[in-house]
Amino acid sequence: MDEVSLSDRLGDQLRRLCEAGGIGTAEPSELLESLLGPAGAQPLSAPPRWPSNVADDHTPVEFSIAFSATEPPTVRILGETLGAPPGRSTNMLATQRFLDTQAHRAGLSTSRLDSVRDLFTTDDPQGAFALWCSLVFRSGRRPEFKVYLNPELRGVDRAPGLISEALHRLGLGRSYRAMLDHGIRPGELGHQDRLTFFALDLHDDAQARVKVYLTHHDAGVPDVLRAAGVADGVDTTRLAEFATLAGGGRTRFTGLPLVGSYTLVEGADRPVGYSLYVPIRGYVDDDEEAYDRVVAVLDRYGFGRTVLDRALAAVARRPLRDGVGLIPHLSLRLGAPRPGVTVYLSAEAYQVTPPVRRPVTVDRTALATPTGRAGAGHP
């Protein structure tokens, strides 16, 4: 019997995920095949060709489903095309070739990307990645494309200046300064608060976005509320509620870091939207617990669990209690252009992270007899 390939596994998951969201499957499947490139043919019995940071198990693709009050659910792929041989530079070139091919076929606008491309190009990229891309599928519409660039590819200390120059070229310098004034804790730029993603939509309509992402290590909810307060249309009360629900009641995230993103548009002096990403997998024992938190968030914001259940059935190959990380992140989008909730789903093509098995603490005092000896149960 033929071995299951990476393309086989991810293609089946994507097809079923699109069906769960009421989205046609032909074009998404073709784009996924092209995105994976030659790596798609690799059997899953072999180890990953490259330790991609897209997913914990190094699968070079992550799925997500976005809920919005104004439109049907949206399915998204975040992916990295692997070069031959795989490496930061070769992966960057392979992903760029994929995007160039799609720009020609689909008439994508790369003008903003072209204006900053040189800033994010180097012969020796550093960090976890150099270039990723996102494919967005909406019911009844053509796919949309977005690129993710790494501000730290020339070094962590050069990220602020690199982003400053990129946004200056794009006419967004004032929004960036306002973002830094609110989003960075004193003395923490490049330390506990880091500029980790710079994203551009590859289209020119009124909702095209530039997004800047800040990763907040060892951050409390008040830190996030201050960071988000600079963006128009952000209800910080709702944001605090979301962080509490997603985080299981904690007010500080000392493990995996929180991530915030700002939406910037021309003509605005400050960001027009904000999203908070909670790495829920780092704060639960298993995906059954993660599911309960996601359902609580979806119910709170009026989306329900029906589509979520279909999406999990499309992607999961195991009971939720048998691992952790199938639901790696949960995000709340506030402000322009499409407020709502996004649930991220790992393909787990290569590996399932075991659940956390915490030791049971026995209160020996409660089990003691009146004479102080341990009770023996029934006579």
Identify the three-state secondary structure at position 254.
coil
Residue 209 per-residue DSSP state: -
For residue 79, list its beta bridge partners.
61, 133
Q: Please compute Rg for the chain using Cα positions.
A: 22
Nearest to 190 by CA among 156, 163, 224: 156
pLDDT at 363: 52
pTM of the model: 0.91
Q: Is the dihedral of CA 189, 197, 54, 125 positive or negative?
A: negative
Peptide bond into 51 cis (omega under 30): no
Residue 321's alpha-carbon distances to 9, 324, 347, 350, in angstroms, are 21, 8, 16, 18
pLDDT at 359: 67
* CA atoms of 32 and 61, how far apart (whole Å): 9
Structure token digits, residue 156 = 């962590």
* CA atoms of 182 and 155, how far apart (whole Å): 23
Place of tokens 């798609």: 40
* CA atoms of 242 and 235, how far apart (whole Å): 11
SS (H, E, C) 139-177: CCCCCEEEEEECCCCCCHHHHHHHHHHHHHHCCCHHHHH
Place of tokens 């030659």: 38
Exposure string for 126-140, b = 16+ CB within 10 A, e = fewer:
ebebbbbbbbbbbee
Cα 30 to the chain's mean position, in Å? 22
Identify the three-state secondary structure at position 18.
helix
For the stretch 127-154, pLDDT in tens is 999 999 999 999 888 999 999 999 999 9
- Tell me the residue ranges of DSSP E strands in 190-336: 193-201, 210-216, 219-220, 252-253, 258-264, 273-278, 330-335
pLDDT at 365: 47
In the chain, what are the domain boundaries? 49-367
pLDDT at 379: 33
Q: One-letter amino acid identity for 157?
A: D
Tell me the pLDDT of the chain (379 aa) as tens digits. Answer: 468 999 999 999 999 999 999 999 899 999 999 999 999 999 999 999 999 999 999 999 999 999 998 889 999 999 999 999 999 999 999 999 999 999 888 888 888 999 999 999 998 999 999 999 999 999 888 999 999 999 999 999 999 999 999 999 998 988 898 899 889 988 888 899 999 999 999 986 766 789 999 999 999 999 999 999 999 878 999 999 999 999 999 999 999 999 999 999 887 888 999 999 999 999 999 999 999 999 999 999 999 899 999 999 999 999 999 999 999 999 999 987 789 999 999 999 999 999 998 765 555 444 443 333 333 333 3
What is the H or E stretch that residue 262 is in? strand 258-264
pLDDT at 378: 32
Where helices occur in 196-302 by DSSP H, the ranges are 221-228, 236-246, 287-300
Place of tokens 């938190």: 293
